[in-house]
């Protein structure tokens, strides 16, 4: 089972939705990195269930425990293990799913791969697995900030928000949008009018036993040029893998994305212009990546999330034995995953970037040629 992510900054997530707990082991955190458990908790609070009426009402406080690798507020250099215990699992609520496959869920696929599946909460396919990623992402951000501080450079700033829910699209200026605007509304959409419309749509979907999908957009500022590698370790390829590993994701695009296919080369190319800090681009259709390597411009990308698969409306499906039946799922589920997906996107972005920053360091030991 693919539960490991990263090269030099490597995480291994563990646990299941209705087991004793979920968490992560992080290897590669530089010794002496300041690790603030309150900051980790803050990120987990952004992700946790029950934070508003727009998300699942499972009542979990998601309090983080540090089991190893941290001493007196600093990383020791040993693996860091973080645990969040499950407190409000109601496994009996899934008994009606024991002999039936939920449409567009992982039930059937897991049965085919492993010969069995975890009924309660979906096991590893549950979004509760992302607790470990978000906790690790908070530490990744701390590493990025402290490395930037040591180098005397501006810290990387990751800003993600809900850009659309179904056909409701936000109008957001990527140049100035800030996390404070995003966190001001339960939808995590900084466009006030769009956020109100999204709220109504999500609440209507819940009442009707349905669910909605949408997109999360991200801008990453102060990304140093030179991150990434040609061919298989392209920066945008690693970002794509990171985002598409999140539950319910169905698409990823960077820069102009699919819209770029409707442009000409003359329209799409980003002209270089001089500046006091060196060459910069006048436009950013590339989304901050060229040749698989960051060029110093803002990283711009978008992630598509499907409607939540588990809904309470009756749907056609089959039993484990292959007989036709209908299913109206019960339990506590998100009518729209987008508001809680934002901190997950933030975390995966930080994990990709910190890994590439650490991998880039050997290339900077010697002066450039010429």
Kindly list the structural domains of the chain, giving each domain's residue range(s) and its CATH number in brackets, ordered by start: 4-364 (3.60.150.10)
Q: What is the DSSP track for 84-122?
A: EE-----GGGGGGGTTBPPTTSSHHHHHHHHS----GGG
Q: Which residues pair with 74 in a beta bridge?
A: 34, 71
Residues β-bridged to residue 289: 294
Residues 184 and 306: beta-carbon distance below 8 Å: no
Q: What is the DSSP code string of 242-267?
A: HHHTSTTEEEEEETTGGGGGGS-HHH
Q: How far apart are CA 247 and CA 243, in angstroms?
A: 9
Beta bridge partners of 34: 74
Confidence at residue 88, expressed as pLDDT on a 0 to 100 scale: 67
- DSSP code of residue 226: T
- Asked whether the beta carbons of 354 and 5 are under 8 A apart, the reply is no
Record the pTM.
Answer: 0.95
- Rg (alpha carbons) of the chain, rounded to whole number: 21
Supply the pLDDT for residue 312: 87
Residue matched to tokens 């900051």: 39
Which token pair is 295?
Answer: 């060029």
CA distances from 32 to 48, 111, 146, 354, 355 (A): 29, 44, 10, 16, 17
Residues linked to residue 249 through DSSP beta bridges, in sequence order: 305
- Residue count of the chain: 370
CA distance 69 to 35: 10
What's the confidence (pLDDT) of residue 369? 80
H or E segment and range at residue 186: none
Residue-level pLDDT at 124: 82
Q: Is the dihedral of CA 160, 156, 258, 127 positive or negative?
A: negative
C-alpha to C-alpha distance for 294 and 39, rounded to whole angstroms: 28
Strands 299-305 and 249-254, by their bridges, are antiparallel
Per-residue pLDDT of the chain (370 residues; tens, 9 = 90+): 689 999 999 999 999 888 889 999 999 999 999 999 999 999 999 998 777 778 766 667 899 999 999 999 999 999 999 999 988 666 556 667 788 898 998 889 988 988 888 766 677 888 889 999 999 999 999 999 999 999 999 999 999 999 999 999 999 999 999 999 999 999 999 999 999 999 999 999 999 999 999 999 999 999 999 999 999 999 999 999 999 999 999 999 999 999 999 999 999 999 999 999 889 999 999 999 999 999 999 999 999 999 999 888 999 999 999 999 998 877 667 899 999 999 999 999 999 999 999 999 988 877 878 6
pLDDT on residue 169: 98
Q: Which residues contact 302 (CB under 8 A, 6 or more apart)?
A: 163, 215, 216, 217, 218, 252, 253, 257
């Amino acid at each position: 089972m693919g539960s490991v992510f990263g090269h030099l900054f490597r995480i291994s997530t563990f646990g299941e939705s209705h087991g004793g707990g979920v968490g992560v082991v992080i290897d590669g955190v530089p010794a002496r990195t300041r690790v603030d458990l309150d900051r980790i908790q803050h990120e987990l609070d952004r992700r946790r269930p029950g934070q508003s009426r727009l998300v699942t009402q499972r009542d979990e406080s998601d309090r983080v425990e540090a089991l190893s690798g941290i001493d007196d507020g600093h990383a020791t250099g040993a693996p860091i293990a973080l645990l969040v215990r499950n407190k409000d699992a109601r496994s009996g609520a899934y008994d009606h799913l024991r002999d039936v496959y939920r449409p567009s869920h992982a039930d059937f696929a897991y049965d085919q791969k492993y010969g069995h599946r975890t009924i309660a909460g979906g096991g590893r396919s549950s979004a509760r697995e992302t607790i470990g990623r978000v906790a690790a992402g908070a530490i990744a951000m701390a590493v990025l900030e402290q490395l930037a501080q040591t180098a005397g450079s501006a810290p990387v700033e990751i800003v993600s928000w809900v850009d659309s829910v179904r056909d409701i699209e936000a109008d957001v200026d990527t140049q100035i949008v800030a996390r404070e605007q995003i966190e001001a509304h339960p939808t995590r959409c900084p466009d006030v009018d769009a956020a109100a419309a999204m709220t109504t749509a999500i609440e209507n979907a819940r009442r009707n036993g349905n669910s909605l999908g949408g997109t999360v957009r991200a801008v990453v500022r102060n990304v140093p040029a030179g991150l990434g590698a040609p061919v298989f370790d392209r920066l945008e390829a690693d970002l794509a893998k990171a985002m598409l590993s999140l539950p319910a994701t169905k698409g990823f695009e960077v820069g102009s994305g699919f819209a770029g296919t409707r442009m000409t080369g003359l329209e799409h190319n980003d002209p270089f212009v001089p500046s006091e800090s060196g060459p910069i681009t006048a436009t950013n259709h590339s989304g901050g990546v060229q040749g698989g390597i960051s060029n110093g411009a803002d990283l711009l990308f978008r992630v598509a999330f499907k409607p939540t698969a588990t809904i309470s409306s009756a749907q056609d499906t089959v039993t484990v034995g292959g007989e036709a039946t209908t299913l109206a799922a019960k339990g506590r589920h998100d009518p729209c995953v987008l508001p809680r997906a934002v901190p997950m996107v933030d975390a995966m972005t930080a994990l990709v970037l910190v890994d590439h920053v650490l991998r880039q360091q050997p290339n900077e030991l010697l002066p450039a040629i010429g």
